[in-house]
């Protein structure tokens, strides 16, 4: 798969990555003996999260981001509405572009029962300009730099961070 394919087929890739993440997280929780698992999806993509995962009475509102290993991106946009959700977090999945295996998992969020840390004030700009080339700001999105994320290498670590 080429860099171009990741771009031209980004919606499909996003769906595959989400399914892989939810499957691996569910398997990890199952193997840990945690069977009270719920997975909920938002019908409309304007609430700041992609999926809600519940386990052992904790409901996590998760915004998923993904990049393939070797991608040059060092920051992402996070929806401000996520700050209004209890237990909101962002999981940035870095995957092998050929195998789709997760190579590292980045975490940005608070401990259970806490809101997501402050997103800061740096506004995201549209990636494409209007007819004059102006790239407008997106007032509901904030830039989060990669350095603000905690880095994990296993789904077990993410499960622990999510649900203890």
- Which CATH number do you get for residue 57? 3.40.1350
Q: SS3 helix, strand, coil % of the chain, rounded to 5? A: 25, 35, 40
Range(s) of the domain holding residue 155: 3-163
Number of domains, the chain: 1
Q: Give the pLDDT mean for 139-156.
A: 95
pTM: 0.90
Q: Which helix (H) or strand (E) holds 12?
A: helix 10-31
pLDDT, tens digit (0-9, with 9 covering 90-100), for 37-61: 999 998 887 889 999 999 999 999 9
Rounded Cα gap, residues 137 and 139, in angstroms:
6
Q: What percent of the chain has pLDDT over 70?
A: 95
pLDDT at residue 134 greater than cutoff 80: no
pLDDT, tens digit (0-9, with 9 covering 90-100), for 103-126: 999 999 998 888 899 999 887 877
Residues 6 or more apart from 34 whose CB is under 8 A from it? 55, 56, 159, 163
- pLDDT for 5: 64
Q: Rounded to 10 degrees, what is the CA torsion of 67, 123, 43, 106?
A: 30
Using an 8 Å Cβ cutoff, are 150 and 100 in contact? no
Rounded Cα gap, residues 65 and 70, in angstroms:
15
pLDDT at residue 77 greater than cutoff 80: yes
């Amino acid at each position: 798969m080429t860099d171009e394919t990741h771009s031209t087929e980004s919606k499909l890739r996003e769906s595959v990555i989400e399914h892989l993440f939810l499957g691996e997280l569910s398997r990890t929780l199952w193997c840990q003996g945690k069977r009270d698992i719920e997975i909920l999806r938002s019908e409309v993509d304007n609430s700041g999260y992609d999926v809600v995962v519940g386990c052992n009475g904790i409901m996590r509102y998760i915004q998923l981001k993904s990049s393939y290993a070797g991608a040059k991106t060092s920051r992402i946009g996070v929806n401000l509405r996520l700050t209004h959700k209890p237990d909101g977090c962002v999981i940035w999945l870095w995957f092998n572009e050929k195998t789709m295996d997760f190579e590292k998992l980045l975490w940005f969020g608070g401990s259970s029962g806490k809101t997501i840390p402050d997103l800061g004030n740096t506004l995201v700009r549209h990636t494409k300009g209007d007819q004059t080339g102006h790239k407008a700001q997106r007032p509901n999105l904030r830039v989060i730099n990669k350095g603000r994320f905690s880095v994990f290498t296993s789904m077990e670590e993410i499960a622990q961070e999510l649900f203890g």
